[in-house]
Structure 1
Amino acid sequence: MNKLFTKIKTMVRIFSTIILIITFIYSCAASEDMSYQRGMQSMEDGRYLTAKSYFDDALVQNPASPELYFQRGNAKLMMEDYHSAIDDYSRSIVLDSSSAKYFINRGLAHISLTNYNDALFDYNEALKTDSNDAQIYFDRAYAYEMLTEYDTALSDYSTAISFDSTKSKYFVNRGNLNSFLGKSGEAISDFTKAILLNPDDKIAYQGRGDEYAMMGEYEDAIHDFSKAIEFELEDMNVYYARAEAKLGMEEFLSAAVDYTIIISMDSSDATAYYNRGICYANLDLKNSACADFVKAGELGLFEAYEILKEYCKAENEKGKKKK
């Protein structure tokens, strides 16, 4: 193999792409209050500021309702006003500490602020009320993971799955953590189960593709990366991953196509020019290779100039000797 191939620049991947999917807990309580009903309708329509205004009006009429504070907290959470949302959830808890949902959503607000220990407190309180709720274990697992308590996080993900094995996101998160911990077999198993539950799960395909690539199973990796791309055509990271897998199979032309797609999305990506240049060099497309190395250098990837000296200058010298 051409020694230039060994100079390919790989993209740094974050194998633990943690997915915290907020599952909002809305109330099922009925209310005849018009402001409350309009607030709930506004929440469903995604008009969160309007919803907050309606809940404000409802609270004027009923300032001791934990449900109204809870719903206003939800509106604030969706507007990313996390501190204020926590205040409202706390009011709900003061008025009624027996409802798990108040603790759960306050925990989500704490997660959003990276207050993971506070989130753990809330999830533990919620579990005192409902110890069979898979979502609580899933959310708590995420908090443990962010605190680098990985074994405990894995245990909570597994508990969530034991209570509800129909959620692909539970397997995806456990798969990502297994991947991060170097447990490729377990990670592939989790991603595969996630895909069986949700064949449109882009993250599961990408995660499994990463594992296959690390194991040298490049054909399987390319398949999974291609599936992931079908669901999100403009994710450059997946194109990079697929290109690297193709390079593992010495499919230089096909890899060059992926780098060309990346360049079409971001013409200032020096690494894509550099790597495409390596592909062209391995295909003996010298002019194209050297042009890409020049462009990569101009964009700030200065080691490309070393390749220019080593490869392009050498080729020029060969041409001069032939003349």
Structure 2
Amino acid sequence: MTSVPFRSTAGLYFGNRDARSLFEFGLCLVTTISLSIAAATSFAAGPGQPVVARVEMKFATGEEVVDVISKGDLLTVVEDRGDDYVIVTHDGTRGAVDKVNAVELAESTGIYTELIKEFPNEGRYYTLRASAWWALGKQDEALEDFNTAIDKGYKAAHAYSSRGLFMAARGEHAAAIEDYDTALKIDPDDITPMINRAAVHMGQGEYEKAIADYTTALEVRKNNAALLRQRAIAYKAAGQYDKAIKDFDMIVDANAEDVAAIMGRGYIRFQQQEFAAAAADFSAALELNDEDPVAWNNRGYNRYQLGKAEAALEDYDRAIELAPNYALAHQNRAWLLATAEDESQRNPTAAIESAEKACEINAYGNIGDLSALAAAYAAAGQFKDAVGWQEKVVEIAPADVKTFAEKMLTRYRNEKPYISDPVAAEKAEREAAEAVAQAEAEKKNEAAIKEAAAKLEREAKNNAKGEIEVE
């Protein structure tokens, strides 16, 4: 099965107006104040991406100036219209700017260096250049600029929050949390640092702390789908499955077409062994998007748990058709074809092919793929090959599954096929052997008793004959 992936809340925050008011306001005309612009390399930023103003610009409607964009300001791209971008400023003004007047964040270090030379004590420019260094992957330069901004007295909450993101990305979790805490003290109304702090808690396995942060954030952003989803993931990680499902229920109740929430809920139901409910969720997801191989694979697995091997095989086949290199679907298909309870549904040859494909995709490094390959060879009666692959499984098996892997190796060496519970199988086989031995012993004992009785009878007859003859 494939769980829903966890993503931390990170990145730059850009203020925005209500979407309706933006559209009613319409596009502003842009007047470029400075025209001394070097030729810019053509690039295309997608919707939601930040770009940096190369020059000062004015937004105006008629004769009225409604907003001014300063050199170095961050702008959010709404739409790429070819020669220009429709953007939203930090204050929420919507307008169009020529592409020549904006650059990607990773290309903006020069702009901020010019501004720092002009305004050496303006800490904000150091934080912006730090973000540009970060986008370039230059961590040391980024950290130096973050620190310089704060050392110069730039105590804005986002200075600490931004440095916290950077620290978290570097794996310096304690420093990240300290920065987030400081940002929250400076601006308690901005819950973004709290959300990012929750992500750090998740990464450290501090699930209860993450849940507490997400819960507090939800008091501000009530019923926010993204926060509910992240809290559900935290609940799942903490083993609180019922609460996780309630959060997913709230998302789906508000938006019945939220496929990610339906998939997430289905996976938790699978973990609770509610296979019918899980299969129903994955079916609902497929009704919304029947091109998702993960949904096909996941429904197939739950159908197999329900004893619907034929339907499960069809789902695995569809998943593989959509994603030929989907290793988990190949592995699941191999297990089904090698170990199905109904012998008519087994196909050891096809199972070997599927398991080999999964192994090839994962470069023979996935223990589940190798286990499936060994089981497939055992199902085909090729126990020498089964033993060889199972030996590799034992070699790489973590401590919690090594005992099981070793028991399966013993079975293959004894030329016995895979079984999901070798301990129970050993017990059953031992009890069966003991029963046979007991029956054999009783049979022999009964025969011995009969033979002894017959002997006594013969001796009695012989003795009687002797007595008659003597008389």
Alignment match of 1:233 (pick from 325, 350, 357): 325
Alignment match of 1:257 (pick from 346, 353, 357): 353
| Residue matched to 2:412 | 304
Measured on the aligned residues, the alpha-carbon RMSD in Å equals 3.2
1:90 lines up with 2:181 in the alignment? yes
SS in 2 for 1:131: coil
Which region of structure 1 is more displaced relative to structure 2, 261-270 or 242-251?
A: 261-270
Return the offset for 1:183: 2.4
SS in 1 for 2:415: helix
1:278 lines up with 2:378 in the alignment? yes
| Residue matched to 2:207 | 116
> 1:81-102 CA deviation, whole Å, 9 max, x = no partner?
2222111111110111111212
Return the offset for 1:243: 0.9
User: TM-score, normalised to structure 1's length?
Assistant: 0.75
Which region of structure 1 is more displaced relative to structure 2, 261-270 or 119-128?
A: 261-270
Return the offset for 1:225: 3.1
- Following the alignment from structure 1 to structure 2, what is the Cα–Cα distance between the partners of residues 273 and 203? 22
Return the offset for 1:43: 4.6
Which stretches in structure 1 are left out of the alignment for 5+ residues?
1-14, 282-288, 309-323
Greater RCO (CA < 8 Å, at least 6 residues apart):
1
Return the offset for 1:298: 5.3
Q: Is the 8 A contact 2:335 2:372 kept in 1?
A: no
In structure 2, relative to structure 1, the CA distance for the partners of 1:161 and 1:69 (3 Å cut) is farther
Q: Is the 8 A contact 2:195 2:213 kept in 1?
A: yes
Alignment match of 1:61 (pick from 132, 141, 152): 152
| Residue matched to 2:127 | 36
SS in 2 for 1:171: helix
SS in 2 for 1:63: coil
Which region of structure 1 is more displaced relative to structure 2, 253-262 or 161-170?
A: 161-170
Alignment match of 1:143 (pick from 234, 245, 248): 234
User: TM-score, normalised to structure 2's length?
Assistant: 0.54
1:27 lines up with 2:13 in the alignment? yes
SS in 1 for 2:414: helix
- Following the alignment from structure 1 to structure 2, what is the Cα–Cα distance between the partners of residues 42 and 209? 46
- Following the alignment from structure 1 to structure 2, what is the Cα–Cα distance between the partners of residues 88 and 119? 16
In structure 2, relative to structure 1, the CA distance for the partners of 1:242 and 1:48 (3 Å cut) is farther
Return the offset for 1:74: 1.5
Which region of structure 1 is more displaced relative to structure 2, 64-73 or 76-85?
A: 76-85
Query: AA paired with 2:306?
Result: M
Return the offset for 1:20: 1.8
- Following the alignment from structure 2 to structure 1, what is the Cα–Cα distance between the partners of residues 256 and 376? 43
> 1:290-310 CA deviation, whole Å, 9 max, x = no partner?
4314524654523221017xx
| Residue matched to 2:308 | 217
Paired residues, number: 287
In structure 2, relative to structure 1, the CA distance for the partners of 1:256 and 1:82 (3 Å cut) is same
- Following the alignment from structure 1 to structure 2, what is the Cα–Cα distance between the partners of residues 185 and 133? 29
SS in 2 for 1:239: helix
Mapping 1:200-215, distance limit 5 Å: 201-215=292-306
Q: Is the 8 A contact 1:134 1:164 kept in 2?
A: no
Which region of structure 1 is more displaced relative to structure 2, 37-46 or 204-213?
A: 37-46
> 1:210-252 CA deviation, whole Å, 9 max, x = no partner?
11221233344234334545547263x4332111223432222
Which region of structure 1 is more displaced relative to structure 2, 100-109 or 271-280?
A: 271-280
- Following the alignment from structure 1 to structure 2, what is the Cα–Cα distance between the partners of residues 305 and 160? 51
SS in 2 for 1:302: helix
Which stretches in structure 2 are left out of the alignment for 5+ residues?
16-72, 75-114, 116-123, 395-408, 417-471
Greater CA radius of gyration, 1 or 2? 2
State the percentage of identical aligned residues: 21
- Following the alignment from structure 2 to structure 1, what is the Cα–Cα distance between the partners of residues 290 and 173? 33
